[in-house]
Amino acid sequence: MLTVHILASGSEGNCLLVSAGGTHLLVDAGISARRICGALQALALSPADISGVLLTHEHTDHICGVATLTKQHRLPLYASCGTAEALCRKSSCVSDVLRVIPRAGAFDIGNARITVFPTSHDATESIDFRVDHDGASIGILTDTGVVTPEAEQALQGVGLLVLESNHDEEWLLSGPYPYYLKQRILGARGHLSNAAAGAFARRLAEGGTRQFVLAHLSRENNTPERARQTLERALAGLDAAVTVAPRSELSGPYTAEVCVCSE
């Protein structure tokens, strides 16, 4: 069985738990180590059960718990070269547990086959992941201003996608954010809008993806209802389910089914 729990998702912190058989992996650690350990305990797990932490990039809302986890539990960290270098500049204590991975390619941790692909974000060398196990697959695509060609290719045929649906463009443009911040969010190295997420979700659903979990919603420029409605309209006529992850509460498990891909 391949599942994902979302421990937190949004600008205040991001952390996911992917479980592939008996292999458990964190994706990012952007909340406190105390919160991560508490969520694991609620799932009858402990840090000793975690095989590694996959890091997407070095922004604080994705790494703020990393240093403490590293000091207390010596969890291996997997990061791109650029992210690893940026992380070492922020916290020297992580250097001996860092494992640099290519920005594109695949490798195995326990029962999980992990595919890495580049994203487009204003970080040093951002990446995201696809995890495959026993014929099922989960994709993760957050913190990207556009869907990169590599992401488009890597995520074809996933059974379940955790997908950024950060903002409603009209709400963002008419809202109180300063001009420079609006341009950053809307830019090619910013965040996916509801509309952009919907367009990509439809392309994947036409290829057989049936489950979408929306993540990294802006508190100021989006609502769960707005994001869900946009995605459901984009997926009209297709057999696909849409769920919205809470920003700060443990949710899941979301279970990946084997994708029946269209020819």
Scan for tokens 């490798």, then name that residue: 107
Instruction: Enter the CATH code of domain 2-255.
Output: 3.60.15.10
pLDDT at residue 262, rounded to an integer: 56
- Mean pLDDT for back-to-back runs of 10 residues, the chain (263 residues): 96 96 98 98 98 97 94 95 93 86 96 99 97 98 98 98 98 96 96 99 97 97 97 97 96 87 56
What are the start-end ranges of the H helices in the chain? 33-42, 60-63, 66-73, 81-90, 149-154, 169-174, 179-186, 194-206, 224-234
Q: Are 150 and 202 in contact (CB under 8 A)?
A: no
Contact 169, 195 (CB under 8 A): yes
Its pTM stands at 0.96
Collapsed DSSP state (helix, strand, coil) of residue 6:
strand
Question: CA triplet 144, 148, 152: central angle to 5 degrees?
Answer: 115
Position 259 scores a pLDDT of 65
Return the pLDDT at 186. Answer: 97
